[in-house]
Structure 1
Amino acid sequence: MQHLLWLIPTLPLAGFLILALGRYLSRTTVALVGVGSVSLSALITIIIGVNFISNPPPSGAYSQFLWTWFNASGFAPKISLYLDSLSLVFVFVITFVSALIHLYSSEFMIEDKSYARFFAYMNLFVFSMLILVLAEDLLLMYLGWEGVGLCSFLLIGFWYEKQENGLAAQKAFIITRIGDTAMAIGLFILFYQFQTLHIPALLQGASNKWQIGAPIACTVALLLLAGGIGKSAQLPLQTWLPDAMAGPSPVSALIHAATMVTAGVYLIARMHVIFERSPFTQHLVAVIGAVTLLLAGCSALAQFDIKRVLAYSTISQIGYMFLALGVGAWSAAIFHFMIHAFFKALLFLAAGAVIETQHHEHNMFKMGGLKDKMPLIFWTFLAGAMSLAALPLVSAGFYSKDQILWYAWSAEKGTAWLWLAALIGALITAAYTTRMIILTFFGESKTPLGHLPGMRITIPLVILAVLSITAGFIELPHNFGQVTIFSDLVQKTLPETRMQAGVESEFAFQLIAAIIGLSGIYLTWWTYAKNPGIIDKLKSQALPSTLHRLWFSGWFFDTIYNALFVKPFKTITSINKNDFIDQIYTALVQFTNTLNRILSLSQSGSLRWYIMGIIMGSIIILTLNILL
């Protein structure tokens, strides 16, 4: 089956190339090409995946060499695809979830004047992410890495007629460039050390050549971590993601569930050997994840825009994945990535349906009363919310998040502080999720209902809702039984988590986590549903009001960055606007224009002048020949 690998990324690319001719295509054709290309890619992925699992390759991976990219002084990176158990999980999520999002988009964006352009960008986004996770060479991975950055810019600013949308796209592009630059430097160091960017060779070389704690390993790991922080919107480069909600709702679902923000998680997992050679950096990954999940969770509690709540939620949930990676719980991080993709895509798509039906209203405080008016949207949204809040036993999110909580305590690199941060994060998550449900679907209706969504919107919601409830049962906790399908698959590529504690006390930790999560749900329900006046009283007091402003603003990171970087840069550029360099180019332009005006005098349109010019030129040439 490995000979079919090239079709997985090629089909979305072919869709993009066809859709680039969008103005010549009907909307039906655009939808068929956009949805069909990604759906075929998902189907091929499932076929290859079933064959991979049922008949594992002896080497543990499929590899397909396509061609040599270029050859310069012995450096010959290859266009080669590599599918092991890690990349298989990512490719499945990318193609399957993207296919559902594309189907949803075919109805959601039907009235948009740039229907073909939207699907062209979406297909290019999927292609770039597939190249990122299938690349066997870091240079090819970097091509996909930059590709998703470009596509995020194009899609966040899709409605570029509004200035704020363009600014949000610029912000995402510029901030992620910081991490990308650091990652590029890391690639240069890796090539200098090993004379190759072939990933399996690099990991083998790092394992053999670098000692644990070696300065060079720490340097490279920190540079790669910076790249992951930028793409995955972790502290301190997290500020671009909430503003990225300027794009259409399907774009938000794609960025948060199947592409872009999960790239950093994949990078760290793929290069795990290098991070294991730098214990300091790996611990830093866990700390960054723990702090980020708390800060983002608090910010989600203060938002009124339903999409910004979900945006901060994504930052927080990616923080959980970083925490798991940092303590060496590799399979737990990837498991949560998969489950998160299902419920976060569901929540964004359902939120998009609500916003569209509420006449593009984003403010949850202006919604309400939708439970009975939009029952299908409510129940599917509730399924995703249950998984996000990790409702015990009945949601997939419980099984993936429980693993991270347990490993934060019991893994060899886990600590009580990391576990406590994850536990408090679970309380906060349950609180803002319940708040979102109550404000959006319960209480009095504040905005009249518009056109209800059709089948192409509701079918993806139902499928994702089923997965958000049931997908967790492929990996049960240690004390629940012997169902470990997911970890058995992923640990063929990633090392098993080393434990410092047995499973005897795991039930006690699960009970604590369940009580904390249910407490968050109950307290929020009691506050917003039973005693809504309490919120107004709290806002009138100094400390709660200050905290609300702090959390609502994203902890003033934007304010600080504007003061430290943006405003000084703008001031310097305004001072340097007319420097001597510009004067050189201005003089060159003026000289060219003057010369153009002089030469244009010879173009009088008079045949007599042209003949005279030819004769004079001939006389001058003959005279020069005689004299010389």
Structure 2
Amino acid sequence: MYHAIVFLPLIGFLIAGLGGRAIGSAASEYITSGFLVIAAALSWIAFFSVALGDGQAFTVPVLTFIQVGAMDVDWAFRVDTLTVVMLIVVTTVSALVHIYSIGYMHHDPHRPRFFAYLSLFTFAMLMLVTSDNLVQMFFGWEGVGLASYLLIGFWYKKPSASAAAIKAFVVNRVGDFGFILGIFGVYILFGSVNFDTIFNNTASFIPAAGHGEAAAGAEAAAAHGETVLTFLGYHLDKAAALTVTCLLLFMGAMGKSAQVPLHTWLPDAMEGPTPVSALIHAATMVTAGVFLVARMSPLFELSHTALIVVTLVGAITAIFAATVGLVQNDIKRVIAYSTCSQLGYMFVALGLGFYSAAIFHLFTHAFFKALLFLGSGSVIHAVSDEQDMRKMGGLRKHIPTTYWMMVIGTIALTGVGIPGTIIGTAGFFSKDAIIEGAFVGHNVIAPIAFTLLVIAAMFTSFYSWRLIFMTFHGKPRASADVMHHVHESPMVMLAPLFILAVGALFAGVLFHEFFIGEGYEHFWKSALFTLPDNHILHDFHSVPVWVKLAPFVAMLLGLVTAWYFYIRSPETPKALAEQHRGLYAFLLNKWYFDELYDFLFVRPAKRLGHFLWKKGDGYVIDGFGPDGVSARVVDVTDRVVKLQSGYLYHYAFAMLIGVAALVTWMMLGSSF
């Protein structure tokens, strides 16, 4: 069964990629989509068997991968609760995106290539989440990067799409460099890259005191211990080496999951087709970093410093992306920054040692964010590929089904629910749990994270409802010709929205007891690791009432403010933007991260490249090498050619010079 789940998308990729022209577009669509539906069905069977049933974790061998000296890496599937949760997320969303794309990409002449890329991406992601060792995970990690490059740049004749694809590829390589260094560090520390060996050998790294001040003291006391790793000239003992290794692994996670400062690729990736945005940037690729940290929880749990860094980066990303989302006008970019912000929530949970809440939010986020992306695609499809919300408005009566699907996605994202009850949408259970966990968290960043997450929740509500009001309410701002052609999407595009809407509404209430409630032990079994003194799972249930009410109040404030700005008083946002031009420009230009990177890295790299090209390669290497030699040969031959004048007396003179030279040599040279 697990072989079928992983390899059916690969088979679909090969059929559509190699035989797409022969079998046609329709056959490519149906074959790849059919394989993904089968894989999704099998994944749900695996989920109920392993996670909700009595099944224990096990390994499915595939083949021998690498055997070099003492390093033995097999290709195998690690099947536990964490794996099957990721399997249903990846295959379910991918299957729905495949089906949705049949309608959305109907007029594209290159559909076989598109569906082949979708299936290749899914296969790489499945390789990543089923990996039994870090090398196999890195293989899937890079495969996902390649497939995302191909999908983002699918419309490669569009310069902005090609630039976005290159940007995503390059920025991810920065993170991947840290990831591969982290793998090297793990191998040095544990002598293996296999998860079982690594996790079984973490006992020697466990400080006797655990977390908190005692743990910090234990790390400080170990500072004079034996050097086990040398990094950047520093000799590191066990505690420091483990921290550095965890931070390098986290660097890889930052790239894939678009955390500040490696986030700049995510909004630009919206240049790809909308189904790509739903697949890559809502539920799968961007969650790879969250999965990595959760999978390596036995290491991160032992490094208090690394967890603090993870919490800090997550909190900064959550508030940064939320502030930028307030003023964006592209419908897909608003949702993209929302994704970036929600990933920040997940990393805050990971940094707090609240791993199950992070995966729970990953799980629920997949449904409502994929719903929002596909819903935005339905809007774009209806308004002749327009993405600027300032040119929409009044669409509620024209595309009512899409409108209600977007509303469901919005209430799930903003966490609509009644605090203290089981009445609520998916985001209400998972996002609020992370906020409550931040309140009871024990690391020094937790109080700051709690404050930033509550503020981010208010901003999230504002920009989410702003999107709804600008797009569907008010007077139509599109041209009469566009409004004349506005139409609801076909059922092949709407059916996936209905399924995702069910998940967005009920995934939280159905599964919260398993992920973070009383069924935790039976559900997770040994898939996640926490130290005995990590009580956050217990403590977050007993937070004060005002903490439970904080995200609810923040959500209401965002909703009321958005309603006032875009329904009651539409002129107010313009007046505020004029009044605070500097702040508005700062947020609209995304805190000027792109401009800063352009100044610090892109331009110097271009200048250096131009210098090496013109001076190094052109003047020095070519000038004194091939080009220089060839030029000298041409000079000599030009002069020799001039001797061939065609006049007899010139030839006679040359012969006399030759005879004189020969006689001179015979007279003088014979004496030496």
Normalising to structure 2: TM-score of the pair? Answer: 0.84
The counterpart of 1:326, out of the listed 341, 351, 357, is 351
Cα 1:52–1:180, aligned 2, differ >3 Å: closer, same or farther?
A: same
SS for the counterpart of 2:54 is coil
Instruction: Tell me what 1:245 maps to.
Output: 270
Instruction: Tell me what 1:32 maps to.
Output: 30
The structural deviation recorded for 1:210 is 6.0
The structural deviation recorded for 1:451 is 4.3
What percent of counterpart residues are identical? 37
C-alpha contact 1:339 1:400 (8 A) present in aligned 2:
yes
- In 2, Cα distance between equivalents of 1:113 and 1:166: 18
Cα 1:38–1:291, aligned 2, differ >3 Å: closer, same or farther?
A: same
- In 2, Cα distance between equivalents of 1:343 and 1:487: 27
Instruction: Tell me what 1:528 maps to.
Output: 566
The structural deviation recorded for 1:107 is 1.1
What per-residue deviation string (whole Å, max 9, x for no partner) do you get for residues 175-196 of structure 1?
A: 0100100110111121122221
C-alpha contact 2:13 2:119 (8 A) present in aligned 1:
yes
Q: For this pair of structures, how many residues does the alignment match? A: 586
What per-residue deviation string (whole Å, max 9, x for no partner) do you get for residues 447-471 of structure 1?
A: 2143431111000001111111111
- In 2, Cα distance between equivalents of 1:53 and 1:135: 18
What does 1:535-574 correspond to in 2, within 5 Å?
Answer: 535-541=573-579, 544-574=580-610
C-alpha contact 1:292 1:315 (8 A) present in aligned 2:
yes
C-alpha contact 2:51 2:80 (8 A) present in aligned 1:
no
1:424 equivalent to 2:455? Answer yes
CA RMSD of aligned residues (A): 2.3
- In 2, Cα distance between equivalents of 1:550 and 1:318: 22
* Bigger radius of gyration among the two: 2
- In 2, Cα distance between equivalents of 1:209 and 1:397: 36
Instruction: Tell me what 2:553 maps to.
Output: 515
SS for the counterpart of 2:475 is coil
Aligned AA for 2:5? I
The structural deviation recorded for 1:278 is 1.3
- In 2, Cα distance between equivalents of 1:122 and 1:484: 38
1:473 equivalent to 2:473? Answer no
Aligned AA for 2:145? G
The counterpart of 2:285, out of the listed 260, 276, 281, is 260
Instruction: Tell me what 2:437 maps to.
Output: 407
- In 1, Cα distance between equivalents of 2:627 and 2:499: 61
The structural deviation recorded for 1:220 is 0.1
What does 1:233-382 correspond to in 2, within 5 Å?
Answer: 233-382=258-407
C-alpha contact 1:45 1:95 (8 A) present in aligned 2:
yes
C-alpha contact 1:399 1:475 (8 A) present in aligned 2:
no
Cα 1:590–1:12, aligned 2, differ >3 Å: closer, same or farther?
A: farther
The structural deviation recorded for 1:490 is 2.9
The counterpart of 1:167, out of the listed 163, 175, 185, is 163
What per-residue deviation string (whole Å, max 9, x for no partner) do you get for residues 468-519 of structure 1?
A: 11111024589xx996556752354114651385744443322222112111
- In 2, Cα distance between equivalents of 1:19 and 1:234: 34
Cα 1:250–1:560, aligned 2, differ >3 Å: closer, same or farther?
A: same
Cα 1:391–1:422, aligned 2, differ >3 Å: closer, same or farther?
A: same
Instruction: Tell me what 1:80 maps to.
Output: 76
- In 2, Cα distance between equivalents of 1:441 and 1:6: 45
1:453 equivalent to 2:489? Answer yes
The counterpart of 2:425, out of the listed 385, 392, 395, is 395
The structural deviation recorded for 1:62 is 2.3
Aligned AA for 1:18? I
C-alpha contact 1:406 1:506 (8 A) present in aligned 2:
no
- In 2, Cα distance between equivalents of 1:354 and 1:487: 43
1:385 equivalent to 2:410? Answer yes
Runs of 4 or more above 4 Å deviation: 209-212, 475-478, 481-488, 579-592
Instruction: Tell me what 2:499 maps to.
Output: 463
C-alpha contact 1:210 1:217 (8 A) present in aligned 2:
no
Aligned AA for 1:578? K
Normalising to structure 1: TM-score of the pair? Answer: 0.89
1:148 equivalent to 2:156? Answer no
Stretch of structure 1 that moved more, 84-93 or 23-32: 23-32
The structural deviation recorded for 1:364 is 0.5
What per-residue deviation string (whole Å, max 9, x for no partner) do you get for residues 542-592 of structure 1?
A: xx2211111111110001110011000100111110345566579669999
- In 2, Cα distance between equivalents of 1:482 and 1:127: 29
Instruction: Tell me what 2:95 maps to.
Output: 99
Aligned AA for 1:516? A
1:192 equivalent to 2:193? Answer no
C-alpha contact 1:399 1:477 (8 A) present in aligned 2:
no
- In 1, Cα distance between equivalents of 2:313 and 2:28: 42
- In 2, Cα distance between equivalents of 1:169 and 1:202: 35
C-alpha contact 2:133 2:193 (8 A) present in aligned 1:
yes
- In 2, Cα distance between equivalents of 1:365 and 1:344: 22
The counterpart of 2:528, out of the listed 494, 509, 517, is 494
Q: Which residues of structure 2 form unaligned runs of 5+?
A: 208-214, 220-238, 418-422, 634-672
- In 2, Cα distance between equivalents of 1:158 and 1:502: 45
- In 1, Cα distance between equivalents of 2:179 and 2:549: 41
- In 2, Cα distance between equivalents of 1:54 and 1:104: 29
The structural deviation recorded for 1:446 is 2.3
SS for the counterpart of 2:261 is coil
What per-residue deviation string (whole Å, max 9, x for no partner) do you get for residues 375-415 of structure 1?
A: 11000110000011111243111111110011001233473
Cα 1:476–1:40, aligned 2, differ >3 Å: closer, same or farther?
A: closer
Cα 1:146–1:545, aligned 2, differ >3 Å: closer, same or farther?
A: same
Aligned AA for 1:49? F
What per-residue deviation string (whole Å, max 9, x for no partner) do you get for residues 124-152 of structure 1?
A: 00000000010001101000000111111
Q: Which residues of structure 1 form unaligned runs of 5+?
A: 596-628
C-alpha contact 1:234 1:288 (8 A) present in aligned 2:
yes
- In 2, Cα distance between equivalents of 1:502 and 1:140: 35
Cα 1:99–1:341, aligned 2, differ >3 Å: closer, same or farther?
A: same
SS for the counterpart of 2:356 is helix
The structural deviation recorded for 1:9 is 1.0
- In 2, Cα distance between equivalents of 1:563 and 1:360: 33
Instruction: Tell me what 2:9 maps to.
Output: 12
The counterpart of 1:48, out of the listed 34, 46, 54, is 46
Cα 1:54–1:555, aligned 2, differ >3 Å: closer, same or farther?
A: closer
- In 1, Cα distance between equivalents of 2:450 and 2:473: 34
SS for the counterpart of 2:409 is helix
C-alpha contact 2:59 2:77 (8 A) present in aligned 1:
yes
Cα 1:155–1:403, aligned 2, differ >3 Å: closer, same or farther?
A: same
